[in-house]
Amino acid sequence: MRVLGLETSCDETSIALLVDETIVANTVYTQDIHAAFGGVVPEIASRAHLQKIDRLCSAILLENGLTPRDLDLIAVTDSPGLAGALLVGISFALGLHCSYSLPITGVNHLEGHIASVMLEHTNLDFPFLALVVSGGHTAIYRVDDFGVYERLGRTIDDAAGEAFDKIGKLLGFSYPSGRDIEKQAALHTAGESIRFPVARVSTGEFDFSFSGLKTAVKYFLNDHDAGYKRENMPLICHSFQKAVTDSLVKNIASAATATGLQRIALVGGVACNNFLRRKMQDAFAGNVYFPSPGLCTDNGAMIAKAGYENFKRKKCRFPVMRPSGAL
């Protein structure tokens, strides 16, 4: 079965082709222009998707000797994300659907991230817990099957990836800042760290909050001169990264204890962070699964996988924009 996956929820235009559940192509175009603005500009993102989506799709089909008529299913992200960016992907998918009478299904972006781990870890059995950590989302889900999810916890303010980007801006790093912070943190070899507080959340046992941490780091930086910050950049980055990681690991460990589920999937863009991966492996003694870095960030393959699994289970839905984006 040939499945075309389309992902345009934010600033990556990605087209993927799955053939019998094998990734044949997974092209991702990242819009580097947003670094100049310190974050994603929705209008610019939408225009870039318009410029790239047709070319990327045509190239993938041509390279594999296919035409749109050879496809068996189109899967497209329809929530959550930037409205204009989503509209580009949905409109392109609907155009193919109408022109070639192809089956089509909308896919929730978070469901795509959860599905990404199954592309490489076919031995991950249901049920399991998924910790979804990205620039726009931080949540814990119980996953009983494809399309069967229960949200156990979520961030009540900033997502973990968003906190990385905001602190990175304060430290003078360009957007996105996660990799720069991780690289600086890796240079810190001493045992000490700055104790940055992470707020306790009263809304839910497994909920997250990172806005207080962001404020604490901001005030700490304001209290120290540029020379101190320059000399102690690895220490500051390590301490911030540790505070975020400790919060993530603590909550997913609590959820594992409460549910009795010890199989954990770590997915989303922040799952690329090697420090977080090591701490998760330490906490769950080898029972944690994560995609390779190229499948952690936004990509069409994860959307194709989620769409295909829903198609098999007759759970396809017509793609429409769904502002809530809740699973």
Write down the pLDDT at residue 181. Answer: 98
Residue 12 shares a structural domain with residue 132: no
Tell me, what's the pLDDT at 199? 82
Query: Domain limits at 66?
Result: 2-114+296-312
Q: Do 143 and 276 reside in the same domain of the chain? A: yes
> 133 and 105 in one domain?
no
pLDDT over threshold 70, residue 308: yes
CATH number of the domain to which 216 belongs: 3.30.420.40
Q: Are residues 130 and 98 in the same domain?
A: no
pLDDT at site 325: 63
Residue 104 lies inside a defined structural domain of this protein = yes
89 with 130, same domain: the answer is: no
253 plus 135 within the same structural domain: yes
Say if CB 160 and CB 208 are below 8 A apart. yes
Contact 53, 296 (CB under 8 A): no
Other residues' Cβ atoms within 10 Å of the Cβ of residue 314: 6
200 in any annotated domain: yes
Is 285 within the bounds of a domain?
A: yes
Whether 70 and 181 share a structural domain: no
- Whether 53 shows a pLDDT value over 90: the answer reads yes
Residue 109 inside a domain? The answer is yes
- Same domain? For 195 and 243 the reply is yes
Find the mean pLDDT for residues 60-74: 98
Q: Are residues 285 and 145 in the same domain?
A: yes
Q: Which two tokens stand for residue 236?
A: 């500051």
Lowest mean pLDDT among 68-72, 125-129, 198-202, 249-253: 198-202
Is the pLDDT confidence value at 321 over 80? no
Domain assignment of residue 183, yes or no: yes
Q: What are the φ/ψ torsions at residue 178 (nearest 5 degrees)?
A: -55, -45
Structure tokens at 292: 């390779």
* Cα dihedral 88, 92, 97, 99 in deg (nearest 10): 140
Confidence of residue 160 (pLDDT cuts 50, 70, 90): very high
* Residue 321 resides in a domain: no
Whole-number percent of the chain with pLDDT over 90: 92
Give pTM, 2 decimals.
0.95
Average pLDDT over all residues of the chain: 95
Q: Which helix (H) or strand (E) holds 180?
A: helix 178-186
Mean pLDDT of 258-262: 97
Across the range 91-117, mean pLDDT stands at 97
CB 242 within 8 Å of CB 127: no
Residue at 22 is within a domain: yes
- Do 231 and 177 have their domain in common? yes
Give the tens place of pLDDT for each residue, 215-230. Answer: 999 999 999 999 999 9
Structural domains of the chain, count: 2
The answer to the question of residue 326 being in a domain is: no
> Based on the domain organization, do 168 and 137 belong to the same domain?
yes
Per-residue model confidence (pLDDT) at position 277: 98
Least confident of 138-142, 167-171, 307-311, 323-327: 323-327
- The CA-atom distances, in angstroms, between 309 and each of 116, 181, 291 are 12, 36, 18
pLDDT over 80 at 156, yes or no = yes
For residue 203, what pLDDT is reported? 79
Rounded mean pLDDT, 247-265: 97
Does 203 share its domain with 260?
yes
pLDDT tens readout for residues 282-296: 999 989 999 999 999
